[in-house]
Amino acid sequence: MKIRICLLVAALVAVAIPAWSVESNPKVLVIADTGFSDSDLVIASHTVLQLCIMDWYACPNGSNFQESGTAATLSPSQMKHSGFSHGSKMARSAIAAYPDVKLILIRVVGQSSSGGRMPTSESIVTKVLAWSNKNAKLYNIGAVAISQGSTKVGTNARRCLASPATDKEIAALKAKGIYTFFPAGNEGKSDIINWPACIADAVAVGALDKLGAIASYSNYAMGQIDIYEPGYVIDTATIATYGSDNGTSHSTQYAAAKWLSLVNQFPQTRPALIYWNYILSGDPVTNSKGFYGWSSNLESVRETLVGR
């Protein structure tokens, strides 16, 4: 289910002020992925902006950057190839977890003439984060969720790939109260999680199975998983449209959407306080190998924040 990232360079350019008013709208979730169905009315009704950021000249306008009403969309024929429906599934997962969510959709994966995935790299994450950081105030961005990851490892204590530019953007967004959510990965490893989830300031999300235990495929590393959410499709309408599958990709979208729903419900409360209440709100979870962590309980968080 996890889609690996491997070379992208994208020019970041200024975008026009959208028709909707920042002051009159809740904070928005940025989702960057393979692209999104151009015929999914559910996704369309929640989308306020679309972009395409790539190193290939493969955006709809023939360049490596585009901002328009169709910059991130894929046709039905494009959606049939090489897992390109992944982005639509992610948007649907965010909507299922937070029905009032507003989305900025960013397409980051190019498609060849034969329908295959064009190579991408870790740098695309940095480009998306940099754009989100630069435009956070303009578009009222509240969270970023990227259900993509890399299995490359580094030599530090967390065995996390060295990526100073990405680390810097994640930290800068966090300082603004904008949290970034990434999947732990689906290789079933017990000592390492995917990049960029392994970055200390990122929110690393693991998967739960349908019994409420940590899914056997969900990567784990001591002290690195921040929260566990369901790793399966929770919305029957989504299953009917896109089928059912599993992975920490879904978990990541649920986590980002749930947290953002709390941020929008309690706008006067510091995002960091909401975050800590959120990740410690549910019951402890384990799996057969003895891994442990925490699930979430939004009602518990709401009761706590209302009582402050």
Contact indicator for 54, 124 with CB cutoff of 8 Å: yes
CB < 8 Å & 24+ apart, contacts of 208-211? 208/251, 208/285, 208/295, 209/246
Positive/negative CA dihedral, 65, 107, 264, 101:
positive
CATH superfamily, domain 3-11+26-306, is Peptidase S8/S53 domain (3.40.50.200)
Rounded to whole angstroms, the Cα distance separating 183 from 5 reads 13
Please give the pLDDT value at position 24.
54
Q: Residue 288: what pLDDT?
A: 87
What does the alpha-carbon distance between residue 308 and residue 303 come to, in Å, rounded to a whole number? 9
Q: What's the pLDDT at 301?
A: 97
**Residue 33 pLDDT:** 98
Q: What is the pLDDT of residue 15?
A: 37
Q: Torsions phi, psi of 83, nearest 5? A: 75, 20
80: β partners: none
Give the C-alpha separation, 153 to 305, whole Å. 38
Q: What's the rounded Cα separation, in Å, for the pair 136 and 27? A: 10
User: How far is 96 from 140, CA to CA, in rounded Å?
Assistant: 21
Q: Both tokens of residue 178?
A: 């904008």
Q: Which residues contact 170 (CB under 8 A, 6 or more apart)?
A: 129, 180, 196, 199, 201, 202
Tens-binned pLDDT, residue by residue, of the chain (308 aa):
444 444 333 333 333 434 333 345 799 999 999 999 999 999 999 999 999 999 899 999 999 999 988 999 999 999 998 899 999 999 999 999 999 999 999 999 999 999 999 988 899 999 999 999 999 999 999 999 999 999 999 999 999 999 999 999 999 999 999 999 999 999 999 999 999 999 999 999 999 999 999 999 999 999 999 999 999 999 999 999 999 999 999 999 999 999 999 999 999 999 999 999 999 999 999 998 888 999 999 999 999 999 87
The full set of domain ranges for the chain reads: 3-11+26-306
Pull the structure tokens for residue 101: 């969510």
E strand or H helix at 47: strand 47-53
DSSP result, 261-308: HHHHH-TTS-HHHHHHHHHTSS-EEE-TT--EEE---HHHHHHHHHT-
At residue 121, the pLDDT reads 86
Q: Which two tokens stand for residue 224?
A: 């690195």
Specify the pLDDT at position 4: 42
- Whole-model pTM: value is 0.91
The pLDDT value recorded for residue 160 is: 97
DSSP string, 105-137: EEE---B-TTSPBPP--THHHHHHHHHHHHTHH
